[in-house]
Chain A
Amino acid sequence: NAGVTQTPKFQVLKTGQSMTLQCAQDMNHEYMSWYRQDPGMGLRLIHYSVGAGITDQGEVPNGYNVSRSTTEDFPLRLLSAAPSQTSVYFCASSYSTSGGERLFGPGTRLTVL
């Protein structure tokens, strides 16, 4: 199993540009989620999904869109990038909600100029 994969590893955007961060898992996990990590603030939940076709908002959803058309993929879209979205983004998946261990991808470092 490749586990949880994320692309790209690094990205630089200009303010106002849009882009999609890719996340995929090959473990048939139903639950997937996106976090952002900022210095001194830990990881904060952006959006999550409990299965194909089902998504919900986390703590900091503004400026981000998600969709879940397949079990394997859970892309995160930045509609109009802002400097406040400069962060490290992690995708995670789990075999179950609540008590299930989240397996994390390697992260994407995004800089918005």
Chain B
Amino acid sequence: AQTVTQSQPEMSVQEAETVTLSCTYDTSENNYYLFWYKQPPSRQMILVIRQEAYKQQNATENRFSVNFQKAAKSFSLKISDSQLGDTAMYFCAFTPGNTDKLIFGTGTRLQVFP
């Protein structure tokens, strides 16, 4: 079965510090895409970062970066210089192979404290 596991239901970090959210996935496909989505209290789903499995280089978007370990099937998200506006649920997701199905993990609730 194709699954995504986020083992940290809740995390907290102080403003300006760095935090890493964990994600592992299970697939037998060699080509797939990985995503991190953010859901603030407004409920809107917002794409944070996207990674193509065939690219070795880790994706980066401003303060957000990933550590993609294909052999370990791991896709962690690092948030640097955390800001109060980063407080949200974070979902890891992937689309295996050539399917049209985006599979989500159960999410990590991140609280940023001043």
Chain B contact residues, CB within 8 Å of chain A: 4, 32-33, 35, 43-45, 47, 50, 52, 91, 93, 95, 97-107
Contact = CB atoms under 8 A, between A and B. Distances in A.
> Number of contact residues on A: which range applies?
20 to 34
Contact of A48 (B45, B52, B97, B101): B101
A45 B32 CA distance: 17
Interface in A48-95: 48, 50, 56, 58-59, 88, 90, 92
Contacts, number: 58
A98 B107 contact: no
A99 B101 contact: no
Interface in A22-58: 31, 33, 35, 40-45, 48, 50, 56, 58
Given A50-B100, A102-B102, A43 B50 contact: no
B91 A42 contact: yes
B44 A104 contact: yes
